[in-house]
Amino acid sequence: MVIFMKLEIKNLKKNYGQKTALNGVSITFEAGIYGILGENGAGKSTFLNLLTDNVARTSGEVLSDGADILTLGKKYRRKLGYMPQQQGLYEQFTGKAFLFYMASLKEISLKEAKGQIQELLLKVNLSDAAGKRISRYSGGMKQRLLLAQALLGKPELIILDEPTAGLDPKERIRMRNLITEVSKDKIVLFATHIVSDIECIADYVVLLHRGEALRIDTPANLIDEVKSRIFERQCKKEEIDEVRTKYPYGNVLQKRDGLVYRIAEERQPEGFLPAKEDLSLEDVYMFHIGRKIAD
């Protein structure tokens, strides 16, 4: 019987002086892809940095299979693959040399590193560019290289901080497909403020807002929860600005029969009808977070 890693977060808090960046988050992660979804400044990067122990927590616990990660040291770090938000790459290295350097930092033997690097370069479609300097890589190639280094050592926990940031649509799709491919039997935490990045691949979504985890559930359950609170009305182009003044968080949708302005409210507003089709995580985000940002 194969036993997969469990990561338990208990009442995790982080303060920076008088500012609370994370406020008592409690979540249990098991194998699967978790979309950590929230606006810029919601606490996503702080949360991930606490899980990697790059930042000291104010209080709370992070338990890997029942043991606090602060007591595990290298044993925990060997389970961990981390892709940071910023591309802190050595531009004069070749892609292959960078991966060998990262493998040495992870204390992976040279023999094992050779096999893993060859396999990972193929997986992220960088085999032909492995001998080129990173300075000549496109943004998408750099992001794929960062994903490859996160996968070195065959980690059980993969933490990805805004992995599609700055990528064009084609590279975003490629990155999402790669993440899906490597996620089997692993815990994958994918932090983003862009709903479409996780909509098709996340097994669970964590809605993070102002340092608090508002909801965690499957995309289907989250959509089902808000379906009676999403309303829309047809609008002419010249009417959009007027409607947006009253409901600034709403979304404009282009449908077959014209423009529609969609909003999230507890009760049906005058002039709006219940939205009956095309409900998505965008509507979930709008109900739980978009309205709060607009306040």
pLDDT in tens, the chain (295 residues): 456 799 999 999 999 999 999 999 999 999 999 999 999 889 999 999 999 999 999 999 999 999 999 999 999 999 999 998 866 788 999 999 999 999 999 999 999 999 999 999 999 999 999 999 999 999 889 999 999 999 999 999 999 999 988 888 888 898 899 899 888 889 999 999 989 899 989 999 999 999 999 999 999 999 999 999 999 999 999 999 999 999 999 999 988 888 999 999 999 999 999 998 889 999 999 999 988 886 6
Three-class secondary structure assignment of 244-276: HHHCCCCEEEEECCEEEEEEECCCCCCCCEECC
Can you tell me the distance from the alpha carbon of 39 to that of 162, in angstroms, rounded to the nearest whole number?
12
Phi, psi (rounded to 5 degrees) for 271: 90, -5
CA angle 270, 271, 274 (to 5 degrees): 90
Give every CB contact of residue 275 below 8 A, 6+ residues apart in sequence.
227, 230, 231, 232, 262, 283
Q: State residue 218's pLDDT score.
A: 97
Shared-domain flag, residues 195 and 52? yes
The token duo for 7 is 């990561």
Shared-domain flag, residues 9 and 75? yes
Shared-domain flag, residues 14 and 38? yes
Q: Interhelix angle for 110-123 vs 139-151, to 10°?
A: 140
Point out the domain boundary residue: 172, 201, 217: 217
Shared-domain flag, residues 17 and 136? no
Q: State residue 107's pLDDT score.
A: 94
Q: State residue 1's pLDDT score.
A: 44
Point out the domain boundary residue: 112, 129, 147: 147
Shared-domain flag, residues 107 and 16? no
| 27-31 contacts at long range (C-beta below 8 A, 24 or more positions apart) | 27/206, 27/213, 27/216, 29/157, 29/187, 29/189, 30/4, 30/5, 30/6, 30/187, 31/4, 31/5, 31/185, 31/186, 31/187
End-to-end CA distance of the chain: 51
The token duo for 52 is 């990697």
* CB-based burial label for 2 (10 Å; 0-12, 13-18, 19+): exposed
CA angle 230, 212, 143 (to 5 degrees): 85
Q: State residue 58's pLDDT score.
A: 97
Q: State residue 294's pLDDT score.
A: 66
Shared-domain flag, residues 140 and 94? yes
pTM: 0.92
Shared-domain flag, residues 51 and 177? yes
Can you tell me the distance from the alpha carbon of 59 to that of 23, in angstroms, rounded to the nearest whole number?
10
Point out the domain boundary residue: 131, 147, 163: 147
Shared-domain flag, residues 182 and 248? no
**Residues, the chain:** 295
Identify the domain containing residue 195 by its residue range: 1-79+155-217
Q: State residue 295's pLDDT score.
A: 65
Shared-domain flag, residues 170 and 229? no
Shared-domain flag, residues 3 and 71? yes
Number of structural domains, the chain?
A: 3
Shared-domain flag, residues 162 and 73? yes
Of 77, 74, 75, 82, give the one whose Cα is nearest residue 149.
82
Shared-domain flag, residues 115 and 63? no
> Within a 13 Å sphere around the CA of 266, how many CA atoms are in the beta-carbon half?
0
Can you tell me the distance from the alpha carbon of 117 to that of 103, in angstroms, rounded to the nearest whole number?
9
